[in-house]
Amino acid sequence: MDSQELERLVAQIGDEILARVPRASGFAPNAEGLNIPDMVCPGCTQRCAQTCAKKTREIISSGADRVSASDRTTRIDPRIAALIDHTLLKPEATREEIVKICREARQYSFASVCVNPYWAPVAAAELAGSPVKVCTVVGFPLGAATAAIKAAEAEAAVKVGAHEVDMVLNIGALRSGDFDAVKLDIQTVAEACHRGGAILKVILETALLDDNQKVIACSLAKLAGADFVKTSTGFSKSGATAHDVALMRAAVGPGMGVKASGGIRTLKDLRVMHAAGASRIGASASVKIVQETAA
């Protein structure tokens, strides 16, 4: 496929996807049964004290000093935990902090722990024998390194125990219309990951792209053999939005992963992103989020 054919293909895909997805940013997911604090499940008439935080507060404010409840109030929902990449990517993170999040990931059965490459061997050692995966980042957070450097980073990370790699695509090349370069960038890293048995997530940094560019990036990631597309690094001017997640899900279809990351701090945030189409969530507030499922 030559560059002109590739450009025509991504333009066609972009037009088709954008025609199907609303441009309004106010994505309104179905809130049925969410049990979010300060909300009541639509259509609910019972407002169970055991499962509804709003009703529990109403009972206490009426004079009760205790409320009887079943184990549903204290049990963490494993389905929520299994969506989360427990993330610590701040440059000042210490070994002690990395070990701590690995132990939290074991405790709550998160999908993975996502750390900078230097810490991947530490995470691999801490999580040995656990189903929790080790995730790391390459070309992070700017995406401006060469494809060869990103592939070398990925290969080295997989060798020391990484099961998943989140790479930042070449944002400047995408915005310049250099689609061949973007596809090759992703494909080179995907091949390095897959040779070692790891999966690849491609970070678009959606805050820096318009909708058409987001759709093109998703299409190129899919063509290049990536396993996921991801919204954000968490280091740019804003993070995930439900609109972007819905747009990305429409662009890649049901068979590819979509990861929402950046600014997801509550159970409500997670549920909104999941309803929009995210199959994985990147969060540093992971423990707080899963503890909300037991509230």
Domains of the chain, each with CATH number or no CATH: 3-24+77-292 (3.20.20.70), 31-75 (no CATH)
The alpha carbon torsion through 274, 280, 282, 286 (nearest 10 deg) reads: 70
Active-site residue identified among 166, 185, 244, 269: 166
Q: Which amino acid is at 148?
A: A
State pLDDT tens for residues 6-37.
777 777 777 777 776 655 444 444 333 334 34
Residue linked to tokens 């990484």: 162
Would you call 244 a catalytic residue per the annotation?
no
The number of angstroms, rounded, from the C-alpha of 176 to the middle of its chain's C-alpha atoms is 26
State pLDDT tens for residues 76-101.
899 999 999 999 999 999 999 999 99
Cα separations in angstroms, 247 against 150, 168, 214, 228, 273: 26, 19, 8, 14, 12
Are β-strands 257-261 and 199-203 bridged in parallel, bridged antiparallel, or unpaired? unpaired
pLDDT at 295 (0 to 100)? 67
pLDDT at 76 (0 to 100)? 86
Averaged pLDDT score across all residues of the chain = 86
Residue linked to tokens 């079943």: 70
Confidence of residue 61 (pLDDT cuts 50, 70, 90): low
Active-site residue identified among 85, 230, 244, 269: 230
Confidence of residue 205 (pLDDT cuts 50, 70, 90): very high
State pLDDT tens for residues 137-176.
999 999 999 999 999 999 999 999 999 999 999 999 999 9
pLDDT at 54 (0 to 100)? 52
Active-site residue identified among 133, 244, 259, 269: 259
201 vs 113: CA distance, rounded Å: 14
Nearest-CA neighbor of 218 among 66, 57, 16? Answer: 16
Instruction: Quote the pTM value.
Output: 0.79
Would you call 185 a catalytic residue per the annotation?
no
Confidence of residue 75 (pLDDT cuts 50, 70, 90): confident
pLDDT at 56 (0 to 100)? 52
pLDDT, average across residues 178-188: 98
The number of angstroms, rounded, from the C-alpha of 216 to the middle of its chain's C-alpha atoms is 19
Would you call 237 a catalytic residue per the annotation?
no
Confidence of residue 52 (pLDDT cuts 50, 70, 90): low
State pLDDT tens for residues 3-14.
777 777 777 777
